[in-house]
Amino acid sequence: MKLYPYACLLLILAAAGCNQLDLVPVSSKSVEGFYKTETHFDQAAIGLYNGLRSTWVNSEASYMLTEARSDNAFQGTAYDDGPISRFQETSMLPVLSSAWSAYYAGINRCNRIIEQIGNIEMPAERKSQFEGEAKFVRGVLYFDLVRIFGGVPIVTTSLSISESQKVDRGTDEAVYDQIVSDLKSASELLPAAHNAANKGRATSWAAKGYLGKVYLFRSGYPLKKNEWKQAADLFREIIDSGEFQFFDRYEDVYSFEKEGGKQQVFSIQFKAGVSGHGNPFPTRNASNDIVPLPEAQGGLPFGGSPFNLFLSNDLLKSFEAGDLRKDVAIRQSWRHKSGEIITTLPTCRKYQNGPVVAANDWDVDWIALGYTDVLMMYAECLNEMGFVPDGEAFDLLNKVRKRAGLKPKTAADIPDQSAYRLWMEAERRHEFCFENLRWFDLVRTDRALDVKKKFLEAYGMADNLRDRNRYLYPIPQSVRDVTPHIQQNPGY
């Protein structure tokens, strides 16, 4: 059974009493009568995944602040992702405020579970599970926040309105330390697997995977903490577990028939036809002008969306000839509502399979952390710890290339560590395009300034990206209006 919310009321209760800072203080009235039974905690924990679904997939912020910022897409119109892709955003941009609010609403739900878990009797393994889920979700939410805004307020308890208005920003390092603490704890508290009725809940493997990813990011820009070995050890543990599998065909990774399989370390569950809990991603990333017909007739069931990603020519031209990933990820022709076949405006194709009952209501899951990502991050760690010509790091990346229908590379093609880094950058771009990873990859490798300035030159906008200050977004003005002591990020 897929994991989807059974307690929407909980989400309303958890958000009650929020002020403009959106640290979401919760009054005693809003939780009165709740957190009293094991069932309540189970409902609260399920609510956390609904929050992740909303933040990572349903919300426009999920792709506007990530994929739209990268060189995979470019938006020339006035939607929020327009100024984002052109590096013209200001602190007044609505999507920044809505993202800040959503992240802290989710964090508050986690805090409530952690605070209340010791107040009732329940089996120890259930108590550990619920606490582990709350710490896992809190860790991954802060992981996004620190990469989007930099050092943010660190809130680990419920706050009154007056208390929330006194909270200041933490440093980048302090936020990362909180993330590491949460994910370490979650990896110890969570079970290694769940039964079929609890499919989709976080496991110790998911926590270890994200912890490894956090170490990898801390090793890059801006902290440069050289924690490659810590990351590699965790990835190696996942690889050696035998719990996961590298699929032979790239298209199978995103196939509805194979979803929930061993190619996924952690995924977000969706259920079409259940009060709006279907996946909007396939519809949202198709052209608004596509005819509402099956793909076999050149269309897409229920059509597309005006909020679709506009793919960049730079991405389209970057694929090697014969790369099988291109046709899986990108739809290069489609039928316009007028009947015309459009071949000049390709759109995203990922996840456009599986049951769909209405626009934005697909029964397809979202891979949040895939096994291929773990393998590639492990290979990256090996290269950073010491370049070995034609060594294990080569074997792993060539495994990815082989599945994509491409010839392997050798030390004759990739002669040193720097060349391997660029090779990894290119393979990750093509493997994970439209999965909201590219922008963060460019920032942590400190390649974003060079890559994006060159990208923007084609649009006459290279001067918009002045310096590395634009690696972060501005703190929303709505936040600073009520808490002016929270300093704005430099450059805004």
Rounded Cα distance, 158 and 166, in Å: 13
Rounded CA separation 330/302 (Å): 19
pLDDT at 10: 31
User: What is the rounded distance in angstroms from the CA atom of residue 329 to the CA atom of residue 435?
Assistant: 10
- Asked if 309 contacts 348 with a C-beta cutoff of 8 angstroms, the reply is yes
| Pair 372, 253: CB distance under 8 Å | yes
Q: Write the burial class of residue 174 (CB in 10 Å: 0-12 exposed, 13-18 middle, 19+ buried).
A: middle
| Omega before 306 within 30 of 0, i.e. cis | no
Contact 315, 347 (CB under 8 A): no
> E strand or H helix at 7, and its extent?
none
User: 156, 190, 202: which is closest to 51 by C-alpha?
Assistant: 202
Closest to 263 measured CA to CA, from 272, 277, 251, 275: 251
Predicted local confidence at residue 385, as pLDDT: 98
pTM (2 decimals)? Answer: 0.93
DSSP 8-state class, residue 299 = S
Which helix (H) or strand (E) element contains residue 201?
none
In SS3 terms, 258-292 reads as: HCCCCCEEEEECCCCCCCCCCECHHHHCCCCCECC
Token pair 């990256």 is at which residue?
Answer: 380
Write down the pLDDT at residue 307: 87
Query: In this predicted structure, what is the pLDDT of residue 31?
Result: 63
Q: What secondary structure does DSSP assign to 301-360, as a single string?
A: TT---TT---B-HHHHHHSPTT-THHHHHEE--EEBTTSPEE-SS-EE-TT--S-EEETT
For 436, left (φ over 0), alpha (ψ -120 to 50), or beta? left
475 Rama class: left (phi>0) / alpha (psi -120 to 50) / beta: beta
Structure letter (DSSP) for residue 54? I
Query: What's 56's DSSP letter?
Result: I
Buried-state track 111-144, b at ≥16 Cβ within 10 A, e below 16: bbbbbbbeeeeeeeeebbbbbbbbbbbbbbbbbb
Beta bridge partners of 264: 370
Among candidates 396, 356, 476, 473, which has minimal Cα distance to 97? 476
Instruction: Assess contact for 253 and 370: CB atoms under 8 A.
Output: yes
pLDDT for 417 equals 98
Amino acid in position 354 = G
Q: Name residues whose C-beta falls within 8 Å of residue 268's C-beta, 6 or more positions apart in sequence.
A: 49, 52, 53, 56, 57, 200, 365, 366, 368
Q: Tell me if 113 sits within 8 A of 128, measured CB to CB.
A: no
What domains can be seen in the chain, in order of their start residue? 8-202 (1.25.40.390), 281-364 (no CATH)
Closest CA to 158 of 128, 113, 97: 113
Q: How far apart are CA 292 and CA 304, in angstroms?
A: 8
For the chain, list residues with pLDDT below 50: 1-29
**Widest pairwise Cα distance in the chain:** 68
The span from the CA of 414 to the CA of 395, in Å, is 13
Nearest to 404 by CA among 346, 326, 476: 326
Question: What is the structure's pLDDT at 260?
Answer: 83
